[in-house]
Amino acid sequence: MSEIGKLGIVTRYEFLKHLRRKRLYVILGITLIAELAVLIILPLLMDGYPENPLVMAAMLTVGPGLATIGAVFFAGDAIAGEFENKTGFILFTNPVRRTTLITGKYMASCIAVIILIVFGYAIMCISLLAIYGEIPVETAKSFGLCLLFGGSVLSVTFFFSAISKGAMGATVITLVTIMVVFGIVESVLMMAGEPYWFLLSAGGDSVTIVFGGMELIMEGLVPSGGMGGMFPFDYEPLEIDLAAYSMVGYLVIGFLLSLWISKRRQLA
């Protein structure tokens, strides 16, 4: 059998593992709850929905955070788990290249994350149609950025999974790096008026900012006072195109490093 055929088998088997572990169903349920929370709570707090559909679309874009969580839980144990549970002695000694196995695991995780993101944006589009009778064209760009962000998070997670001794360590390190470390650095650079597009956390922000920028979103949520000094510092708008290029870098480099490290890592 060719490596492409083996890749298809590995991908299908790994995706079925996600289904059997019910991780996909749990995160889909969380996505639904998050979207419903926005649809129910936001009009109660604002005495109605925002007049601008772009603002509502931005609020319904919970995809970045959920893509991060989904990617980490789908991929945290993809490589590290095989070494931690000693299943690699069986899996990696089969007549299938390690690169094929890791690529199949990555593709299966990508499919799961894509399903998650599509589900979230489907709810968003249906909600916007029901409330405003239209779907902003920016939704398509936001969807593309969210897919790119999810793939980038997957690659970073695979990298940490390749160098970690255990699945839990890979999961925690990825979450802390993206949501805490990158988040803090981004905040500091933002307050200093310096560019921060090269951080992966900024890629997640771009999924929402594409709907008109932080200023438009805040003005839509606080129409009476506008920004009202919301940013008392020299706010540097995120360059979305550069953030997209940065995410491509994280996606490609993270995945290639995970392949290289996994290929050379010893089982014992």
Quick one: which of 95, 92, 74, 88 has its CA closest to 165?
88
pTM of the model: 0.87
Residue that is written with structure tokens 């470390």 in the block: 181
Matching residue, tokens 């991780």: 23
**Who's near 116: CB < 8 A, 6+ residues apart?**
24, 27, 28, 31, 63, 66, 67, 70, 150
Q: Read off the DSSP letter of residue 177.
A: I
CA gap 31, 121 in Å, rounded? 10
pLDDT of residue 88: 46
Q: What is the pLDDT of residue 1?
A: 64
Q: What is the maximal distance between C-alpha atoms in the chain? A: 66
pLDDT confidence bin for 222, thresholds 50/70/90: low
Give 150-175 as a DSSP string: HHHHHHHHHHHHHH-SSHHHHHHHHH
Q: Do 56 and 128 touch, CB atoms closer than 8 A? A: yes
- 41-93 confidence digits (pLDDT tens): 888 888 888 888 998 898 888 876 777 777 788 777 766 666 555 554 445 55
158/81 Cα distance (integer angstroms): 11
Most confident stretch, 5-14, 72-81, 226-235: 5-14
Structural domain boundaries of the chain? Answer: 3-264
Mean per-residue pLDDT, 19-45: 87
139-186 tens-digit pLDDT = 999 999 999 999 999 999 899 888 877 777 778 888 899 889 999 999
Average pLDDT, the chain: 82
